[in-house]
Amino acid sequence: MYEKDGKQYYIFDGHLHFWDASPENWKPGAEEYAKGWIECFHAYHGLGPADTQWSLEKFQKYSADDFERDVFVNAGTDCGVLQSTYLREWYTDGFNDFARNVTLLERFPGKLIVNGRFDPREGQASMEQLEADHEKYGLKGVKLYTAEWYQGSRGWKMTDDAAKPFFDKLVELGIRNVHIHKGPTIWPLDKDAFDITDVDHVATDYNGELNFIVEHVGLPRIEDFCFMATQEPNVYAGLAVVLGGLMHARPNFFNKVMGELLFWVGEDKILYGSDYGIWEPKWQIDGLLEWEMPDRPEYSDYPRLDEDGKRKILGLNGAKLYGVEVPEALRGPVPAEAPASPESAVGVAG
């Protein structure tokens, strides 16, 4: 629970990491890529307020104590989702893989959800791992990284024939939430492999069965994402990077991105994510609660976001997708069955 100005808010952080990018984990022969990747992340980290920035050494591998302080104590997070990112081409034990993430479950019982992953290029081995992880932990979601390198391949698409059995398996197992990195490129990955053009195809195919949470809202392709997401009732906007990368460093662009999301996608289909440890969560929560769309002509056709809408974005929408019960006192005016409804786009018949 987060408290600000005497008001309490339920916080559901849909995008957390617990990575190890220390030099000891750099894969021999791939040190250039492992080093470049985390240094690119650290450059994004610099877009936050100066008093929240870490040294590169700490950024490479922060501790469970850091995680607890920043996510649960300072930011008052009620429930968070750890997203798995493997990158085993560059990191010996993986960058932020499932096995590392689940080490935090025992320390923070009831406060964390760990998402699995799959990569269709790995074939049956990936399918068996997905099934095993689900059997042991009861997965509620997966995180897909379509630009990841694998044995000479520099990306895949969700529309690939090899991906379909995995989506069918998610449906079979009842794993409903599919998070996809579709946003800024991180060196040395390829920008085109993060393109959003494969999202609407699978969203249509699995409407009513799977939810597709597009992390980073397709940035910099914000218009493409919004025009697609307003037509697909099961496509959601994940605010990681929008908040941490733009709110402080690029406030005018932040206003535009939020305005487009609110107009086309609607406040019921927008989910908060801090992208920790790229950025600490507290200043992002404070910033969103304090933010108001400026009263300027260039923003006159954008919807305004009131306190009820901010409650949905910061916690209620994500909790609904993941079936997490929110204490009645923190639900606000939103009925239990209402958050994350698809009928929220403003001004568009989808």
Read off the pLDDT of residues 274-307 as tens digits, 9 standing for 90 and up: 999 999 999 999 999 999 999 999 999 999 999 9
Q: Which residues pair with 142 in a beta bridge?
A: 116, 178
336 inside domain: no
Host domain of residue 35: 2-328
For range 299-320, the mean pLDDT: 97
Q: Annotate 206-273 with DSSP letters as a single string.
A: TTTT-EEEEEGGGTT-HHHHHHHHTT-TTEEEE-TTIIIIIITT-HHHHHHHHHHIIIII-GGGEE--
pLDDT at 344 over 50: no
Residue 1 pLDDT: 86
- How sure is the predictor about 309, in pLDDT bands with cuts at 50, 70 and 90? very high
For range 135-163, the mean pLDDT: 96
Residue 192 pLDDT: 85
Report the percent of the chain where pLDDT is more than 70.
Answer: 95
In single-letter form, the type of residue at position 283 comes to: W
Q: Which of 10-24, 30-44, 185-199, 212-226 has the lowest average pLDDT? A: 185-199
Residue 349 pLDDT: 32
Residue 343 pLDDT: 46
pLDDT at 350 over 80: no
For range 177-190, the mean pLDDT: 93
8 Å CB contact between 156 and 120: yes
Report the percent of the chain where pLDDT is more than 90.
Answer: 91
Q: Which residues pair with 238 in a beta bridge?
A: 215, 271
In single-letter form, the type of residue at position 275 comes to: D
153 inside domain: yes
pLDDT at 78 over 80: yes
For range 232-248, the mean pLDDT: 98
Residue 341 pLDDT: 47
For range 236-240, the mean pLDDT: 98
162 inside domain: yes
Number of domains in the chain: 1
In whole angstroms, how far apart are CA 94 and each of 139, 223, 277, 341, 343? 20, 33, 16, 36, 39
Residue 44 pLDDT: 97
pLDDT digits (tens, 9 = 90+) for 255-274: 999 999 999 999 999 999 99
| CA 4-274-279 angle, 5° bins | 100
Which CATH number characterizes residue 101's domain? 3.20.20.140
Instruction: Supply 304's token pair.
Output: 């305004």
pLDDT at 175 over 70: yes
9 inside domain: yes
121 inside domain: yes
Residue 193 pLDDT: 87
The whole model's pTM is what? 0.93
Average pLDDT over all residues of the chain: 94
pLDDT digits (tens, 9 = 90+) for 85-124: 999 999 999 999 999 999 999 999 999 999 999 999 999 9
pLDDT at 158 over 50: yes
DSSP state of 26: B
348 inside domain: no
| CA 163-164-166 angle, 5° bins | 70
343 inside domain: no
129 inside domain: yes
- How sure is the predictor about 324, in pLDDT bands with cuts at 50, 70 and 90? very high
Residue 333 pLDDT: 61
